[in-house]
């Protein structure tokens, strides 16, 4: 659930910390009625960063496919066996 709180509520750090731990979404902080910051628990942050990395890798893979820099499994295995004398 989207949570938006005013910046003055940041004074109660233990309450904010508890809110972050209970929420799976970022908490948006407003200042003078406008968006100012976003806070989240370390677990949510790590998950978001992991997913960002996954998306980056998928985009890179799709680019390799678009450029035709792919090979089938048989060719890949043959190349690896030749390279490492397996």
Query: What 3-state DSSP class applies to 42?
Result: helix
Residue 79 lies in a domain: no
Are 3 and 22 a contacting pair, CB within 8 Å? no
Mean pLDDT of the chain: 94
Together in a domain, 49 and 24:
no
Q: What would the pLDDT profile of 17-70 be if each residue is shown by its tens digit?
A: 999 999 999 999 999 999 999 999 999 999 999 999 999 999 999 999 999 998
Number of domains forming the structure of the chain: 2
Tokens of 12: 């109660």
pLDDT of 8 strictly over 90:
yes
- Find the radius of gyration of the CA atoms of the chain: 23
Residue 1's pLDDT band (cuts 50, 70, 90): confident
Residue 83 lies in a domain: no
So what's the pLDDT on residue 10? 92
Residue 80 lies in a domain: no
Query: What 3-state DSSP class applies to 6?
Result: strand
> Which DSSP symbol is given to 10?
G
Domain that holds residue 67: 42-71
């Amino acid at each position: 659930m989207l949570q938006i709180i005013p910046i003055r509520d940041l004074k109660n750090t233990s309450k904010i910390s508890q809110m972050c731990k209970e929420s799976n979404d970022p908490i948006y902080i407003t200042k003078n009625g406008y968006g100012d910051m976003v806070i989240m628990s370390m677990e949510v942050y790590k998950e978001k960063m992991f997913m960002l990395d996954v998306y980056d890798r998928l985009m890179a893979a799709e680019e390799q496919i678009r450029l035709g820099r792919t090979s089938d499994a048989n060719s890949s295995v043959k190349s690896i066996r030749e390279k490492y004398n397996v």
